[in-house]
Amino acid sequence: MQFRSIGLVALSCFLMLSLCHTALARSESIFPSIPLVTELYESEVEMWSSDWNSGWGASYELGLNGAEGNATNFNLSTALKLTRTLESRITTLDLNYAQASNNNIVIRDFALFRTRNEYLLGESRWSIFTEGMLEYDRFQAFDFRLTMATGLGYRFIDNDTTTLKTRTGLGTSREFGGPNDEWKPELVLGLDFKHKLTDRQNLYLTNDLYPNWTDFGDFRMITDAGWQLLIDEETRTSLKVGVINRHDSTPQGQKANDLNYSLLLMWNTK
């Protein structure tokens, strides 16, 4: 029943987005005098009229370690990130997965999938974003958590060296298969920071805060930070040290903080 509910939610979202995108791509703007509507319309036309293999960049990360003998353990961390950059939109899809076992007993098993569309409004520093997130963790009190949100973004700094952006909006989340299996209204407060230290070194930080708008003491926060070092230009191979921390103020008997840190090799397409 839980998986059926998740499937229905995902299918409904997909159908709704498909219908909206098709309608936008095949119709003419009925509000040409409103700049914001025109910008969004042109973004959709560009998105659906361009080749799907254009504008995409990808990175893949992998970290492994283990032991066999008197003690047996295995640790896996992997991630895949796809980014599509167009003149009027930036689309990102980000998947992180980690598993660890000790003497053949699984002690960590979680996956985090995030997707975001950022609609750029011409030369303005403002943008509009929509995002979705799906969390799985075998050792949490729920099976899956689905989060959806939309709002406004603002670029304080955006150049070849440093990017600093904030996001503010409204959203909702639901934990499937847990004690609180219902939709929860949330605010969204986000921060994205990237900085190029040298030609080979980069820092990044993404922090998302999701407070319940009816009770600010009930909140979640996801922090993703790391350092990257390019070690081979020809193969675009980098060394990455990354940290993902998930905080839940209402963990339902579990620990409030769940920290995952990793040392990985990363390959980029461009």
How far is the C-alpha of 46 from the C-alpha of 42, rounded, in Å?
Answer: 6
Q: What is the per-residue pLDDT across 193-202, written as a single tens digit (0 to 9) for each?
A: 999 999 999 9
Angle between helices 35-49 and 2-26 (to 10 degrees): 100
Count of structural domains within the chain:
1
Choice between 40 and 12, residue whose per-residue pLDDT is larger: 40
Using the predicted structure, report yes or no on whether residue 13 has a pLDDT greater than 80: no
Spatial CA neighbour of 155 closest among 203, 116, 208, 119: 119
Please give the helix or strand (H or E) that residue 44 lies within, else none: helix 35-49
Q: Residue 261: pLDDT above 70?
A: yes
DSSP 3-state of 256: coil
> Is residue 39's pLDDT more than 60?
no
Position 2 scores a pLDDT of 40
Residue 23 has pLDDT above 50, yes or no: no
Q: How confident is the model at residue 28 (pLDDT cuts 50, 70, 90)?
A: very low
Query: What is the end-to-end Cα distance of the chain in Å, rounded?
Result: 43
Q: Quick one: pLDDT at residue 191?
A: 97
pLDDT, one tens digit per residue, over 55-96 is 789 999 999 877 776 667 888 899 999 999 888 899 999 999
> Is residue 31 a part of any domain in this protein?
no
Q: Which amino acid is at 174?
A: R
Judge whether residue 155 has pLDDT over 90. yes
Whether residue 149 is contained in a domain is answered as: yes
Report pLDDT for 107.
85
pLDDT in the model for residue 3: 40
Q: Is residue 243, in this structure, part of any structural domain at all?
A: yes
Residue 100's CATH number: 2.40.160.40
* pLDDT at res. 33: 43
CB contact at 8 A, 24 and 44:
yes
- Residue 123 pLDDT exceeds 60: yes
Residue 21 lies in a domain: no
pTM across the whole model: 0.76
The more confidently predicted of residues 184 and 46 is 184
Length of the chain: 270
pLDDT confidence tier of residue 104, bands split at 50, 70 and 90 = confident
Q: What is the rounded distance in angstroms from the CA atom of residue 76 to the CA atom of residue 98? A: 6
Rounded to whole angstroms, the Cα distance separating 198 from 201 reads 5
Q: Is the dihedral of CA 154, 149, 43, 90 positive or negative?
A: positive
Averaged confidence pLDDT in the chain: 82
Report the distance separating Cα 110 and Cα 96, nearest Å.
8
Domain hosting residue 192, numbered range: 54-268
Residue 46 lies in a domain: no
Residue 40 included in any domain: no
- Give me 198's structure tokens: 């040298």
pLDDT of residue 27: 36
Within a domain: 49: no
Q: Contact at 8 Å (CB) between 37 and 29?
A: yes
SS3 181: coil
Out of 3-17, 19-33, 58-72, 140-154, the most confident range is: 140-154
Q: Do 218 and 247 meet the contact criterion of CB atoms below 8 Å apart? A: no
Contact (Cβ atoms closer than 8 angstroms) between residue 224 and residue 244:
yes
Specify the pLDDT at position 228.
Answer: 96
Whether pLDDT at 10 is above 80: no
SS3 label, residue 178: coil
With 90 as the cut, is the pLDDT of residue 103 above it? no
In a domain, 158, yes or no: yes
